[in-house]
Amino acid sequence: MPDNAAMVARTQSVNAADRTAERVSELREQLRYHARRYYEDDAPEIPDAEYDKLFVELQALEAAHPELLTPDSPTQQVIGAVREGLASVAHAVPMLSIQTETDTSAGGALKFDAAVRNALKLAADAPPVRYAAELKFDGLAINLRYEYGLLQQAATRGDGETGEDVTHTVGTIASIPKRLAQASAPVLEVRGEVFMRRDDFEALNERQRAAGAKAFVNPRNAAAGIVRQLDASLARQRPLSFYAYGLGDVQGWPIPATHSGLLDTLQKLGLPVDDHRAVVEGGAALAAFHARIAAQRDALPFDIDGVVYKVDERALQQQLGFKTREPRWAVAHKYPAQEQQTRLNDIEIQVGRTGKLTPVAKLEPVFVGGTTVSNATLHNLFELRRKGVRIGDTVIVRRAGDVIPEVVGRVRPDDDGHGPRARAVYVPNFRMPRQCPVCGSAVVREKGGNDHRCSGGLFCAAQRKQAILHFAGRRAMDIEGLGDKLVDQLVDGGVVRTLPDLYKLGIASLAALERMADKSASNLVAALEASKRTTLARFLYSLGIRHVGESTAKDLAAHFGRLDPIIDAPVEALLEVPDVGPVVAQSIHTFFQQAHNREVVAQLRAAGVHWSEHDGAAADRAPRPLAGKTFVLTGTLPTWSRDEAKECIEAAGGKVSGSVSKKTDYVVAGDEAGSKLDKARELGVAVIDEAGLRMLLPP
């Protein structure tokens, strides 16, 4: 029956069309909801990659069913709105968005070049197109309006037509000039990205956690949250950075003929412009830029989510023009996301060197930030509660730079696009154990503290392992070849119980261990032997006394000169050491009061660990031109690592501190120097580069 068959077919296609229309409206609702969470509340609930997936799905459906396309679809609009309390700003020139290429392989670059050549109707043998290639900073777009060289207004992108006035917060960003070096044009609008460096972000969250406040999810959110705050006092304490990448409205100012020329000019005017930018020719060179930056991505001081290619010639840009939302002459070529969602299978407890119990998320393995992650930190019980995370939840995992992967929150399982129906009560399904999972000792929490600790001390195998690894560390006794696998074997096999046991290891006993070749056994024995000759400061640091980091160890060594007076020092005597306060003094005193710790020290010395006593006095014989001077290192120096620079400064009698204050004598700045450099400028502290530092050092 042909009629019947046709009818069935028609019904099926009607059903399919219904389902498609339903899905399209569902996607739109979800995208609108998540865009609100992202742009308006600065509190996204799903990773960007997940949002992109929904967006691409909607785009695909609309492309296949043009009849479903509506002008109010999220694919047709630049989303964003004005926060209540912030004044709105009509952009003189709309702030557009940019096409994104999510194919993270070289193909993405080649495709863009091909599209540009095609649109310019270039013959196959025509010379390559020149591009300006730069980083895609992960922050928020800001328009800076300069009138006659003076900063008059800063605004967010908003919906592209209307943004928010954020002059009060952006005005606190030290690296943004209030007055341009030369330009006195009636109007010069500079566009760029406000972002937060990773170290500034970690430090901010550290402070938030210490204060019992909610940690920010990622640097982008922290930056957006702070910029869009009504009260500028918070912005002042919180380190934001800025890079310029384009223009808005311009009146009476000659615009350079190329984008690269523009960036150079903006830099000359005193605006921060990133130095990773390059001018390249052709698609293959774009792909090479993408690959080169990918290799540096983890080491960058800030998050990027891709690179941006722009046709360099302004004349060609004008020829290429715009599609609805975006220019044809630019594309963002993405990298694998640094945030992904996955299932939280379990929570395990890890015991650290000082006995701190850290809840570690056991995850369904997920590819994030370029590697597969199956463990991520949850910091402590209180963080875990604040995030409302439960075993079995879908969570967002972040891995950026060399920072350990972290669970930043959960994806609302009951999210249906209408917003979260928050659980009425958060009932955690994980508890901190009362006994150490490794040694069974009681778990304690200091009054008011966030951390749970195992009270077992070196009785606890986990703490022993960590103590040995710390002792062997590069900046401690520097025992090369003593890594965590080997320490596991040594401790679990009962071969090493205490630090001095290390020096009893012989080639035979080591070679007997699984996976240990004769060669590596003899190398390790040689490394142990070599480590015996050390300095008092390194030795003190290697003992792993709580609150005694490298710099305190150095201060102690310099002040006392010998170990014995430190071992016997009463708290008052310790308090005389510069930078040692009551907590640290008490911790040192308590450590050496314990008979077993004294015993460990005695045995290490008996095993042959030595240093020239009067370390401090010995150092006095060397020229100490930097005595009394405090340095702060920031950014990447051209030839020295930070450690090397630090060693040189200290060898010459100087001190290296982590933060800039009025007491800082010099800031040594390299590439990518960030907020510390800004701070130095603000406080009028001398800023030098590596060459300047070399001049201060004795020959």
Q: Measured between alpha carbons, how far is residue 84 from residues 41, 88, 89, 574 in Å?
A: 11, 9, 13, 54
- Number of neighbours of residue 57 by Cβ within 10 angstroms: 15
Q: Please say which residue, 263 or 462, places its beta carbon nearer to ligand IVH.
A: 263
Closest approach, Cβ 245 to ligand IVH, in A, equals 4
Distance CA 90, CA 160 (A): 9
Residue 359, φ and ψ in degrees, nearest 5: -70, 125
Distance CA 489, CA 495 (A): 8
Q: Please say which residue, 312 or 393, places its beta carbon nearer to ligand IVH.
A: 312
Select from 27, 132, 266, 332 the one that contacts ligand IVH (CB under 6 A). 332
Closest approach, Cβ 142 to ligand IVH, in A, equals 8
Question: Does 141 interact with ligand IVH (rule: CB under 6 A)?
Answer: yes
Question: Does 134 interact with ligand IVH (rule: CB under 6 A)?
Answer: yes
Question: Does 183 interact with ligand IVH (rule: CB under 6 A)?
Answer: no
Q: Which stretch binds ligand IVH (CB under 6 A): 58-66, 93-101, 382-390, 518-526?
A: 93-101
Q: Which stretch binds ligand IVH (CB under 6 A): 18-26, 90-98, 101-109, 408-416?
A: 90-98
| Residues 458/596, Cβ–Cβ less than 8 Å | yes
Catalytic residue among 136, 334, 465, 679: 136
Residue 55, φ and ψ in degrees, nearest 5: -60, -45
Residue 447: active-site member: no
Q: Is 296 exposed, middle or buried (0-12, 13-18, 19+ CB in 10 A)?
A: exposed
Q: Measured between alpha carbons, how far is residue 192 from residues 96, 263, 276 in Å?
A: 12, 11, 15
Residue 322, φ and ψ in degrees, nearest 5: -125, 150
Question: Does 473 interact with ligand IVH (rule: CB under 6 A)?
Answer: no
Closest approach, Cβ 340 to ligand IVH, in A, equals 20
Closest approach, Cβ 96 to ligand IVH, in A, equals 4
The residues in 253-312 that bind ligand IVH, with binding defined as CB under 6 A, are 308
- Specify the 3-state DSSP secondary structure of 143: strand
Q: Which residue has the tokens 């630019």?
A: 330
Q: Please say which residue, 132 or 588, places its beta carbon nearer to ligand IVH.
A: 132
Question: Does 331 interact with ligand IVH (rule: CB under 6 A)?
Answer: no
Site string for ligand IVH, 233-252 (x = CB under 6 A): ------------xx------
The residues in 373-392 that bind ligand IVH, with binding defined as CB under 6 A, are none
Closest approach, Cβ 144 to ligand IVH, in A, equals 13
Q: Which residue is nearest to ligand IVH (CB)?
A: 141
Question: Does 96 interact with ligand IVH (rule: CB under 6 A)?
Answer: yes
Select from 45, 62, 113, 193 the one that contacts ligand IVH (CB under 6 A). 193
Closest approach, Cβ 397 to ligand IVH, in A, equals 23
Q: Please say which residue, 161 or 451, places its beta carbon nearer to ligand IVH.
A: 161
Q: Please say which residue, 157 or 464, places its beta carbon nearer to ligand IVH.
A: 157
Residue 327 DSSP one-character state: B
How many residues at the interface with ligand IVH, by CB under 6 A? Answer: 14
Question: Does 327 interact with ligand IVH (rule: CB under 6 A)?
Answer: yes
**Structural tokens at position 177:** 């000039």
Distance CA 548, CA 452 (A): 20
DSSP-derived pairing of the beta strands 666-669 and 630-634: parallel
Q: Measured between alpha carbons, how far is residue 226 from residues 168, 170, 216, 659 in Å?
A: 11, 9, 10, 21
Beta strands in 97-184 (DSSP E): 99-101, 130-137, 140-147, 150-156, 162-164
Active site residues: 136
Interface residues toward ligand IVH, by CB under 6 A: 96-98, 134, 136-137, 141, 193, 245-246, 308, 327, 330, 332
